[in-house]
Amino acid sequence: MMRTTGGTRRSVWSEGERISLTSAQLQHSLLQRTASLYPRRLSALQLFDRAAKASWWNPRFDSKVLEEQFRQSSFTQTEQHFRYALLYVILSALVYALSACTVGRDTWPQVSAACLVLALLSFSFLMLTLFRNAIYRRNASILAMSTLWLVAGFSLAPFALPPSPMEVEENHSVAVGSFSICLSVLVLSYTLVGPLPLYMICIFGVLYSTAFEIMSWFVLNHVNTWTILAVRILLQLSIHILGIKIRLLAETSMRNTFYKVGQSLLVRRELELEKHLKEKMIHSVMPPSVAQWLMKNTAEDGDEQQNTANSVPMHPIQAADRPLHQLPQPRSSNQLTFRPFNMHRMQNVSILFADIVGFTSMSSNKTAHQLVGLLNDLFGRFDFLCQKNGCEKISTLGDCYYCVSGCPEPRPDHAKCCVEMGLAMITAIREFDEDSGESVNMRVGIHTGTVLCGIVGTKRFKFDVWSNDVKYANRMESTGRPGKVHVSEVTHELLLDQYHFDEVPQNGEKDKKERKTYFIRHRKITGGRHSWPRFQAPMLARIGPQLSVDAAAESHPSQPMSGSSDPSDNSHAALNTRKASCPPLSEEANSDENDEDWIGEEVVFHPTLAQPLPWHHQANNQIGNQYDLHNPIVGDAPPLGAGGPIVIPGQPRRHSSLSTLYSRKDSGVVTARSSIQLESTAVEINVDRRGRTSTSTGRSSGVSSIRGYSIFGEDPALSFRQQIRKQSDLQMIRCIQQDCADAELFVHPPVHKLSLFFKDNFIERGYRDRLLGRELYPTLASPTFTVYLCTAVALIFYFVSLVTCFMLFPTPNAVFLSFCFVASFAHIAVAMVCLREILAMRGNWQANDCFTATFRYLMKWTPLHVVGLFLLCVPILAVFSNFACDSFFNNWQASDGFCLLSFAFLLHFTNFSQVKFWLRSLFATVAGLALVMFVGGVFCDSSRCTEISRRSYLCRNSDNIIWDILVHIILTSILVWLLNREFETSLRLSFHGGWLASQDQKRMQVLKRQADWLLHNIIPRHVVEQLKTTSRYSENHREAGILFASIVNFHELYDESYEGGRECLRVLNELVGDFDELLSKPQFRNVTKIKTIGATFMAASGLNPKLRRENPHPFTHLFELIDFALAMHKVIEDFNLNLLEFKFILRIGYAHGDITAGVIGTTKLYYDIWGDAVNTASRMDSYGMPNRIQVPEHCLPVLSEMYTFKARGSMYIKGKDHMNVYLLESKKGKQLHKIPFKRQQTIPAQL
């Protein structure tokens, strides 16, 4: 019996089931919430996210705590830069000392001594940073400023050494060399020296430049002219602008990196919370092993389809961006016929059925709210006992409790676990009677055998067990006695040495043919007594809103992904107050163990929305006396793991599963809010607040604070927004301080040492394409704005090069003029493109396709490098184009100015950090070598020298001067290489921090959608929305439709002799999956699947009040349910065509009326409906006819408008006496909007 390969099959979930937001929707949502918290106008450009106002000359965060933590976190990088500066100073001093000794001038002893002293002092500072780091940290600013003035003083020392009057060229050498040193000192002060504010560095730079020019003018007045002075001032101003730009971008980049990495750590924390929430919800429906298979199968199917469609492998990050539950589209005819199926045959499994005797009489005089308190109290005890005794809870339906042991994880003591569970349940219900004044009892039946365990269906799926042994265990319960544990002969054989038994007497021939059964008398080995928690719904609702959201999310350890705890384990670990850290939640989970003797103990734990309130029979019934509530408002809520404790009696954790049962128990109940529901709300609120406190990047910043801070007590005048922001900052700081693994992110990005390319090619591609994106709220640290600033600096340098060249070379040659024309045109074009983008961003200029296309093209990797290198080379090429041998022969001013301009424009190659560092540095080195060749006279004929020019650079061909120039060029090139490498490292570091935050946020959203999707598969979406705002869910619905559809002959197909019945259940899974697919169709949007019970499918309509209000007719939902029943008949007809030698028979019962829908469960969520209409629909199915739809008489006034019926007559219905029933014949051809109805017939959707 197999399906043919011609049919198209879907994977486990249909397209309509997928719950996912597009990236555009997510970004829009985040940006909206960002804008609401951080209103920003583009007219006031910020330096970086969260920058303080008016902080251009001293960049800092708008939060003192953030700024302080940034200084601590970035100190390692600042210290590293300071060491590089000291090493460069030491190298320069040693080279100058060696040069002075080599040249052998008269002043060489003084120069060498001064250089050695400077090197020694710098080496002392370097050793201080290496071996006395604490001293350096305390005095970093003082040491940085001392180093600057020390270097500045030694650089001015040559002016105190007057040159020999016979060596005039030495004056020019000192003038050119000292100017080169001055520019290097300025660049060092702006880039690598210490944690000094920008305004202080600017003050130092201005003072140093002024002192240098004054001393140079008076000491070297015979070689200086007003033209040279003006040129030097322009060059000094250019270097100051370049240094300010470098420093400003470095500060903003470092702070931007810090903030992004901090957000990344917060998002990672949210990922852990989401993972914990997802696991907890999955475990409420199925055991961990089944959940692992489900997610693994889903991910593999989705990846296979994606790779097949695109024919390229997916990067791991791309795979992470796609939700795991997003399964492939319907399979084609050449793919597998069946859906993924997880069903395992397990032997040596004990099954327990327990029924509350007297439940009907107990509930008859209770209101719904009273009944839910009793049920949650009692079931809460059972859940704890199930966890303690190593059992896996399958389902709670009405007053029936159903669990197994030895499944899905085998264990040798499965029979003992179930017996201990049954005995403990009997003891528990006796104490429940004492506490509540009721008189109910338990009837427990246990059998051991073989089961098939797994999942059937694609909607409202859950873990369940099937087999004939399961049916026999159900029979053991129904034939048992109140207050007794009834076990089968198989179970009895396994426990002979542990319990005393009483054999059940057999009466008559019929009983003698049955297997022997036994009642447990008592244990041979006395076991410990169990206790349990009680769930107080009113109290939970009262204190829930007062608890810290982040504390709630943190104090839930994730459930283990394997096996139940050993019932013999009596260890107990208190929920201790955690230190302020960000360890994985799995570490927290390991600290939570259960204990047999927990009564009377006190456990300190933090308030949490997700924990049920504990209670036991020895506690005081006055709930208010059991709790010591600290911080009664949300704002005063403690941080993650660091808040004021609540001292309460110890409460163990519980773990179980949720599924169906092969029987129908009906009752009307409401529910207290469960731990999973509350935790889902906690995380949702957490994410929402973090979204509202995030910046333009859309990433989160947390809500909690740090241990030791009293946020709302510090400044009551703060607005709520400021309070939330401050808590967010403190939470970020806490994660940064404790996450040691990411400390290196502030110093060393994951790049190759030589090339600085990212080790991950995918990240490298993203880095190269980063300029192509747009930001809604750009800052100075944004990639595009760094391009604008670099372009502006390049324009300034180009303008200075033109002015200075015209000043030094009054008669420019044709080469220079031609070059100026081309370069000016290129600069104007680039400036117009950048200016247009800035104006368009500010909204002052309409977008133009031509400009936009040009800008986007120029921002690509290769064009950007070409344009950037051209702009970098233009100033020095302008100088080189003015070179003429005659000028150098006869004009000292031209030769000096040529060298001054060349040294200044060599430093311009530190601009445009977007261009690869080795390209910029290589071009700077080539330009330096060209300068040496020009000065050395390689391109001129010395025979042209005249007596007038005998003392010029070229004609004299002084080796000393050339050596001096070469030394300065080498040191300047080394400085350019060092700065370019560090700038690119910082730029890549900033990108990597933002990339991590972005990817972590995407993963978090994937996990969030997975959790939402799974939660909506357990509980309808509209119910989940109500649970977010209320502490319980119970809703009465008028005139809701209920449908039971049974495959009446499935038992004929089911045969355990072949594969243990597994393949039969595979067929059932396919059929139920086909039924589930109908629910995705828009014409059945009012229909909701409730559950499957063996081979019976239960559905209802009219349970969503919002949809009912939108319907065109008050009974649309009832008509849709009947249409759904007809569609089910069509599905099974098509299904039977693919079966060989067997035809399924479908029988459907329908009724509508008043029902109660609710969610019950504490650690296990279960959505169900109760009411007389549910019982009636069930009876309509049980007493129906094959291949027909049967309805009671009271449904005809509504349904006869759309359908025709045939009377079947009056028949006896169990529990209903005699009823007139009808069979559906056909559907009328009426349109829904044409059906007349009276206004008084309109029935409200809910009470």
The answer for 187, left when phi > 0, alpha when psi is -120 to 50, beta otherwise, is alpha
CA 34 – CA 548 distance, rounded (Å): 22
HEC assignment per residue over 878-946? HHHCCCCHHHHHHCHHHHHHHHHHHHHHHHHHHCCCCCCHHHHHHHHHHHHHHHHHHHCCCCCCHHHCC
* Structural domain boundaries enclosing 407: 341-532
CA 617 – CA 434 distance, rounded (Å): 9
The answer to whether residue 284 scores a pLDDT higher than 60 is: yes
Mean pLDDT value of segment 933-953: 62
The secondary structure of residue 58, as a DSSP letter, is: S
CA distances to 26, 55, 189, 204, 876 from 199, rounded to whole Å, are: 40, 10, 12, 9, 30
288 belongs to a structural domain? no
- Copy the structure tokens of residue 358: 């007297």
CA distances to 158, 795, 931, 959 from 102, rounded to whole Å, are: 17, 41, 22, 11
pLDDT the model gives residue 451: 92
The answer to whether residue 441 scores a pLDDT higher than 80 is: yes
The secondary structure of residue 828, as a DSSP letter, is: H
The answer to whether residue 484 scores a pLDDT higher than 70 is: yes
Mean pLDDT value of segment 235-247: 93
Residue 448's nearest CA partner among 483, 482, 492, 409 is: 492
Residue 1037's nearest CA partner among 806, 1246, 760 is: 1246
1120, burial (CB in 10 Å: exposed 0-12, middle 13-18, buried 19+) = buried
Beta strands 1087-1093 and 484-488: pairing type? unpaired
pLDDT the model gives residue 989: 82
Q: How sure is the predictor about 41, in pLDDT bands with cuts at 50, 70 and 90?
A: very low
pLDDT the model gives residue 62: 80
Q: What is the dihedral of CA 85, 86, 92, 98, to 10 degrees?
A: -170
Q: Count CA within 13 A, CB hemisphere, residue 348.
A: 11
Cis peptide before 649 (omega within 30 of 0): no
The answer to whether residue 755 scores a pLDDT higher than 80 is: yes
Residue 819's nearest CA partner among 872, 879, 895, 884 is: 879
State what percent of residues in the chain have pLDDT above 90: 27
The answer to whether residue 959 scores a pLDDT higher than 60 is: yes
Q: How sure is the predictor about 1198, in pLDDT bands with cuts at 50, 70 and 90?
A: very high
Name the residue with higher pLDDT: 500 or 31: 500
- Residues 93 and 116: beta-carbon distance below 8 Å: yes
Residue 794's nearest CA partner among 880, 920, 982 is: 920
Name the residue with higher pLDDT: 185 or 1139: 185
Beta strands 602-605 and 646-649: pairing type? antiparallel
Give the largest Cα separation in the chain, rounded.
143
- Residues 1012 and 1027: beta-carbon distance below 8 Å: no
Mean pLDDT value of segment 765-794: 79
Q: How sure is the predictor about 578, in pLDDT bands with cuts at 50, 70 and 90?
A: very low
Q: What is the dihedral of CA 636, 642, 646, 652, to 10 degrees?
A: 140
- Residues 384 and 652: beta-carbon distance below 8 Å: yes
pLDDT the model gives residue 29: 44
1124 belongs to a structural domain? yes
pLDDT the model gives residue 637: 33
DSSP per position, 456-519: --SSS--EEEESHHHHHHHHHHHTS-TTEEEEEHHHHHHTTTTEEEEEPP--HHHHHHSPPEEE
In sequence order, the β-bridge partners of residue 1044 are: 1098, 1149
* Residue type present at position 1096: T
HEC assignment per residue over 572-607? CCCCCCCCCCCCCHHHHHCCCCCCCCCCCCEEEECC
Mean pLDDT value of segment 714-726: 60
Domain-ending residue, one of 532, 547, 579: 532
The answer to whether residue 653 scores a pLDDT higher than 80 is: no
- Give residue-wise pLDDT tens across range 447-459: 999 999 888 888 8
pLDDT the model gives residue 483: 92
- Copy the structure tokens of residue 913: 């950090």
799 belongs to a structural domain? no
1026 belongs to a structural domain? yes
- Give residue-wise pLDDT tens across range 992-1006: 877 877 787 777 777
How far the first Cα of the chain sits from its last, in Å, is 49
CA distances to 98, 293, 386, 446, 751 from 567, rounded to whole Å, are: 81, 26, 10, 18, 51
1055 belongs to a structural domain? yes
Q: What is the dihedral of CA 1152, 1155, 1160, 1164, to 10 degrees?
A: 0
- Residues 571 and 547: beta-carbon distance below 8 Å: no
Average pLDDT of every residue of the chain: 73
1085 belongs to a structural domain? yes
Residues 6+ apart with CB under 8 A from 341: 454, 1066, 1069
Name the residue with higher pLDDT: 351 or 569: 351
Q: How sure is the predictor about 918, in pLDDT bands with cuts at 50, 70 and 90?
A: very high
Mean pLDDT value of segment 802-807: 91
Domain-ending residue, one of 486, 514, 532: 532
- Residues 445 and 473: beta-carbon distance below 8 Å: yes
Q: How sure is the predictor about 1162, in pLDDT bands with cuts at 50, 70 and 90?
A: low
CA 318 – CA 909 distance, rounded (Å): 37
CA 209 – CA 1112 distance, rounded (Å): 82
pLDDT the model gives residue 168: 52
CA 401 – CA 395 distance, rounded (Å): 6
Number of compact structural domains in the chain: 2
581 belongs to a structural domain? no
917 belongs to a structural domain? no
- Give residue-wise pLDDT tens across range 730-743: 877 777 776 655 55
752, burial (CB in 10 Å: exposed 0-12, middle 13-18, buried 19+) = exposed
pTM: 0.65
CA distances to 214, 268, 1230 from 886, rounded to whole Å, are: 31, 68, 105
- Copy the structure tokens of residue 523: 């244990």
- Residues 1031 and 537: beta-carbon distance below 8 Å: yes
Least confident of 60-74, 406-420, 738-752, 1086-1100: 738-752
The answer to whether residue 387 scores a pLDDT higher than 80 is: yes
State what percent of residues in the chain have pLDDT above 70: 66
Q: What is the dihedral of CA 460, 462, 468, 474, to 10 degrees?
A: -90
The helix or strand, by DSSP H or E, that contains position 971, with its residue range, turns out to be: helix 959-1018
CA 546 – CA 613 distance, rounded (Å): 14
In sequence order, the β-bridge partners of residue 402 are: 353, 395
- Residues 1016 and 279: beta-carbon distance below 8 Å: no
- Give residue-wise pLDDT tens across range 1039-1084: 999 999 999 998 888 888 877 888 888 889 899 999 999 999 999 9
Mean pLDDT value of segment 1203-1207: 94
- Give residue-wise pLDDT tens across range 165-207: 545 556 667 788 889 999 999 999 998 887 888 889 999 999 9
The answer for 62, left when phi > 0, alpha when psi is -120 to 50, beta otherwise, is alpha
- Give residue-wise pLDDT tens across range 44-79: 567 777 777 767 777 878 878 888 888 887 788 888
Q: Which of 340-349, 602-611, 1203-1212 reaches the highest mean pLDDT?
A: 1203-1212
pLDDT the model gives residue 512: 55
pLDDT the model gives residue 74: 78
Question: CATH number for the domain including 351?
Answer: 3.30.70.1230
pLDDT the model gives residue 680: 44
pLDDT the model gives residue 536: 39
How long, in residues, is the chain? 1247
CA 559 – CA 3 distance, rounded (Å): 39
Domain-ending residue, one of 513, 532, 551: 532
pLDDT the model gives residue 1043: 96
CA 1067 – CA 341 distance, rounded (Å): 10
pLDDT the model gives residue 1087: 95
The answer to whether residue 607 scores a pLDDT higher than 70 is: no
Beta strands 1166-1170 and 1146-1160: pairing type? antiparallel
